[in-house]
Amino acid sequence: MLIQTLRETPADAEIDSHKLLVRAGLVRKVAGGLYSYMPLGMRSLKKIQQIVREEMDRAGAQEIVMPILQPAELWKTTGRWDAMGPNMFKLRDRSEREAALGPTAEEEVTDFIKGIVSSYRQLPVTVYQIQWKFRDETRPRFGLMRSKEFLMKDAYSFDVDADAADKSYWNMYHAYERIYERCGLKAVPVQADGGDMGDSLTHEFHVLADAGEDGIAWCPKCGYAANLEAAEKRFEPCAAEPCTEPLAEAPTPAKTIEDMVKFFGVGPEKMAKTLVYLADGKPVMFCVRGDRELNEVKAKRLVCAKTFALADFSTVREVTGAPIGYAGPVKPKIDVPIYADLELEGASGMLTGANLDGEIDYKNVDFARDCKIAKYADITIAQAGDKCAHCDGTLEIKRGIEVGQVFKLGTKYSKAFNAVYKNDALEEKVMIMGCYGVGVSRTLQAIIEQSHDKDGIVWPASVAPFQVVIDLLDPQEAEVAQVASDLEAALEAAGIDTLVDDREERPGVKFKDADLIGFPVRVVVGAKGLKSGGVEIKRRDEDKTKTRIVAPEAALDAIRQALGQSKS
Ligand code: ATP
Ligand code: MG
């Protein structure tokens, strides 16, 4: 068997699960963001796929498969050919026909269903595929977590109306709960940002781990959980009295909030920072308290922008008339819309940039008196210690790995494709859609991130490359080898997949590899052991001292029992 375990940590691996994936010989790097699956990795990947497939089938979804190579026309129908930007791999065939390597498949599946479904009698329908996806990620990293090519299960539901679509959504949501549970994974559903679809209902499933790239706001009191991109918090009305002092210039060399805190000797909550963005090419300003960060997702949503990015230096100068670091909400040079966070409504006695040519701030800023604010809205990122918007609890912030997402799409795609059905009055109606993704390859690695120790991976039995490893210590001794091969046959007959390590290696090497790869149960068969009582059985998730010696005839039962008790 092609197994290659490594003692050294790969240089580019930053997080434990990435190191272990490579060290245990599950995958091999081809180039940045591209991996080959070695036989061990492939076995686990297939087991996860199988769990996903069984739960999709159980939920009534039907498996299909659509081409990875997707014609540009599909994407142009919804305008996403351009909107996807550099994230999508685009190419041309020999006849100059444009196509993309599918990063997802809403367009393709809508076109597919439109060609098949025409009557309400054919609905509801949910289809799914387990297919490779391609995304030219800005920063491919962390191994399979964020790769350029990855395996995704994507499902799409089509319904006659909003109620039916709601049923489909929750049906998938519950299937996801079962999928992760069967993978031995603790994944929590969190509310997420509806993206283009505005307030559309969507949940992401996250594996909580320090290595996660997403921030999750969590209320331990009521259980509210949301991606920081979307997390709400409770706003206390600003208690400040209107300012009696007039607005005044305060020259300062300090550009950043930290420098201002030192220079003025007041807290960041008495300062406001102002950021200039280009929303669909037009400058807008956002103003948040000095101790807050702007939430770009909320800000973008607030101004209903398609493209949204921090303005370049020259635009900032043009808009504010001031050097970088001195933008403020009081009379910018060019009259642009200024949005301020809810916490600044009624704020007074604040320090802000002055939009003046020089290193000057304003003090005594009273937002109601001195600033022309287009709108006060929640545009900041929730922080630990903020009050929960749903109860009187206090928010905590956790890190999460997004392993899946369920999403109500409404009619965005079906309208664009005119995917309609005839109701019983023979009227044409637009289908209501939902989409549901599981990052299959990311899930593989998330399992490792959640389940490992200093010696290696600790696989849940359901997704381990093999459930049992037999470390055969004296392969050259025929009698000992016979015991191992009889046991292997008995285990396989019982449906327990087993790997026999019959390499001519020292026991220490075999034990180290068994721990590194993380087989749920290890059985040691050796001459010495057999003479003194039998074979040795040990669970990977148990203390090393908890080995059990059983006679070879009793091994099958003991292993069954050990597997049943081991993780998941
Ligand atoms: P992310 O926010 O992490 O970039 P996403 O929200 O863009 O992911 P979706 O479009 O929701 O991703 O795709 C469904 C699932 O596919 C995700 O929940 C995630 O598990 C997985 N996935 C997305 N991008 C990648 C990637 N580059 N590498 C591996 N898995 C990925
Ligand atoms: Mg997602």
403 within ligand 1 shell (Cβ under 6 A): yes
Q: Residues with Cβ < 8 Å from 453, sequence gap 6 or more?
A: none
What is the per-residue pLDDT across 288-323, written as a single tens digit (0 to 9) for each? 999 999 999 999 999 999 889 999 999 999 999 998
Calculate the dihedral angle through the C-alpha atoms of 223, 227, 229, 231, rounding to the nearest 10 degrees: 0
Pocket probe for ligand 1: among 87, 107, 144, 150, the residue whose CB has the most ligand atoms within 8 Å is: 150
Neighbours of 82 (CB within 10 A): 10
147 within ligand 1 shell (Cβ under 6 A): yes
Handedness of CA 511, 512, 517, 520 (dihedral sign): positive
Judge whether 148 and 134 are in contact, CB under 8 Å: yes
Counting every residue, how long is the chain? 568
Determine which residue's CA is closest to atom 14 belonging to ligand 1.
437
Q: Residues with Cβ < 8 Å from 195, sequence gap 6 or more?
A: 202
Measure the CA–CA gap between 144 and 127, rounded to whole angstroms: 25
Atom of ligand 1 nearest to the CA of 152: 16
Give kind and range of the element (H or E) at residue 501: strand 498-501
Atom of ligand 1 nearest to the CA of 437: 14
Q: Which fold, 16-231+397-448?
A: BirA Bifunctional Protein; domain 2 (3.30.930)
Determine which residue's CA is closest to atom 2 belonging to ligand 1.
402
104 within ligand 1 shell (Cβ under 6 A): yes
348 within ligand 1 shell (Cβ under 6 A): no
124 within ligand 1 shell (Cβ under 6 A): no
Atom of ligand 1 nearest to the CA of 154: 14
CA of 402 to the centre of ligand 1 (A): 7
103 within ligand 1 shell (Cβ under 6 A): no
Each residue's pLDDT tens digit in the chain (568 positions)? 999 999 999 999 999 999 999 999 999 999 999 999 999 999 999 999 999 999 999 999 999 999 999 999 999 999 999 999 999 999 999 999 999 999 999 999 999 999 999 999 999 999 999 999 999 999 999 999 999 999 999 999 999 999 999 999 999 999 999 999 999 999 999 999 887 655 689 999 999 999 999 999 999 999 999 999 999 999 987 777 788 899 999 999 888 899 999 999 999 999 999 999 999 999 999 999 999 999 999 999 999 998 899 999 999 999 999 988 999 999 999 999 999 999 999 999 999 999 999 899 999 999 999 999 999 999 999 999 999 999 999 999 999 999 999 999 999 999 999 999 999 999 999 999 999 999 999 999 999 999 999 999 999 999 999 999 999 999 999 999 999 999 999 999 999 999 999 999 999 999 999 999 999 999 999 999 999 989 999 999 998 778 999 999 999 999 999 998 766 4
Domain regions of the chain by residue span: 16-231+397-448, 248-377, 466-562
Token pair listed for 136: 């030219």
Measure the CA–CA gap between 219 and 183, rounded to whole angstroms: 26
Measure the CA–CA gap between 76 and 62, rounded to whole angstroms: 27
130 SS3 class: strand
Three-state secondary structure of 300-352: HHHCCCCCEEECCHHHHHHHHCCCCCCCCCCCCCCCCCEEEEHHHCCCCCEEE
What is the pTM (predicted TM-score) of this model? 0.93
Query: Judging by beta carbons within 10 Å of its beta carbon (0-12, 13-18, 19+), is residue 7 exposed, middle or buried?
Result: exposed
Token pair listed for 234: 């409770």
Determine which residue's CA is closest to atom 21 belonging to ligand 1.
439
Task: Choose among 53, 29, 103: nearest CA to 440.
Answer: 53
Give all strands of the β-sheet with 535-539 in edge-to-edge order. 498-501, 468-472, 521-525, 535-539, 548-550
Task: Choose among 217, 273, 272: nearest CA to 386.
Answer: 217
CATH H superfamily, domain 248-377: YbaK/aminoacyl-tRNA synthetase-associated domain (3.90.960.10)
405 within ligand 1 shell (Cβ under 6 A): yes
Judge whether 66 and 115 are in contact, CB under 8 Å: no
Q: Does domain 466-562 have CATH number 3.40.50.1220?
A: no
What is the per-residue pLDDT across 339-354, written as a single tens digit (0 to 9) for each? 999 999 999 999 999 9
Token pair listed for 533: 């009582």
